[in-house]
Amino acid sequence: MHIILSPLSGAPIYEQIERQIVSAITCGELLQGSALPSIRLMAKELGVGIITVKRAYDDLCADGWCYSLQGKGVFVSGAGADVRQKFLREIKERVEELVRYAASGGVGRGKLLKMIGDEGGDSDERR
């Protein structure tokens, strides 16, 4: 598992770690039952504090992506399908919220899709 941290992203380091682990789970890179690196090893490899990694792992466990066995480590949850469905529902809710927000500013779905595709789309066209 390869995690890349960016101090310029604006997101806290623990959230960056969480997002990348969730991404590895959802794309199948990390399978059910796979062990995550130990907190100490992950902290050392990333050059961050142990508390930062512990926060990320604790959040992953609280959200159902992983589970912890005291003295053994943190593992990818067996409830992967349920967690993936929850993840997809959350994405859908966020997209719907974005569509409503864009519409409130006069930005139609076509323009919004173009902006997403262009990762910014600076034209003022309305579709």
Confidence of residue 45 (pLDDT cuts 50, 70, 90): very high
Residue from 69, 85, 7 nearest 36 by CA: 69
- Residue 36 near residue 45, CB atoms below 8 Å: no
Question: Domain spans of the chain?
Answer: 13-78, 81-118
Does 15 score more than 90 pLDDT? yes
Does 110 score more than 70 pLDDT? yes
Give 87 or 42, the one with higher predicted confidence: 42
Q: Is 62 exposed, middle or buried (0-12, 13-18, 19+ CB in 10 A)?
A: exposed
The CATH T-level fold of domain 13-78 is: Arc Repressor Mutant, subunit A (1.10.10)
Distances in Å between the Cα of 92 and the Cα atoms of 4, 13, 54, 89 are 26, 25, 29, 5
d(CA 101, CA 95): 10
d(CA 31, CA 110): 37
- DSSP class of residue 35 equals B
Mean pLDDT of 110-118: 86
Largest CA distance in the chain: 58
